[in-house]
Amino acid sequence: MKKYKVVIEPLAKQDLKETFYFARNDSITSAEKLLSALEKTCYSLEEFQDRGHIPIELKPTGIKRYLEIYYKPYRVIYEIEKNLINIHSVLDYRRNILGILSKRLLR
């Protein structure tokens, strides 16, 4: 099986920082566990990149190059380019996903 390199884009890194910031209100330990689990989910795409599906918000547009996987309630949105997995967003599903994707991916 071909192994891909995962690149967490700057906006996705910011998503992870914000998630950690808000999660630490519960406790630092739980925030660290959540951050670790989200990063593990991202890096699991090195070997299992095809397990994602097209985000429902993008289906009507016909854009098929972006995929997503879940670490509930978070959605990891990524793109496969040659031997790279570009992580574009790590978002809580309760956010305005369509608005965020429009700004980030559909420019």
E strand or H helix at 16: helix 10-23
| pLDDT score of 102 | 78
Distance CA 63, CA 25 (A): 37
What's this model's pTM, rounded to 2 decimal places? 0.89
Question: CB-based contacts of 65: which residues, under 8 Å, 6+ apart?
Answer: 79, 80
Q: Using CB atoms within 10 Å of the CB of residue 103, give its burial: 0 to 12 exposed, 13 to 18 middle, 19+ buried.
A: exposed
Q: Where are the domains of the chain?
A: 5-104
Is the CB of residue 88 less than 8 Å from the CB of residue 77?
yes
**By three-state DSSP, how is residue 40 classified?**
helix
Superfamily, domain 5-104: RelE-like (3.30.2310.20)
pLDDT along the chain (107 residues), means of 10: 91 96 93 97 94 91 92 95 95 83 73
Q: How many CB atoms lie within 10 A of CB 91?
A: 23
Q: What is the pLDDT of residue 2?
A: 77
Rounded to 5 degrees, φ, ψ at 92 are -70, 130
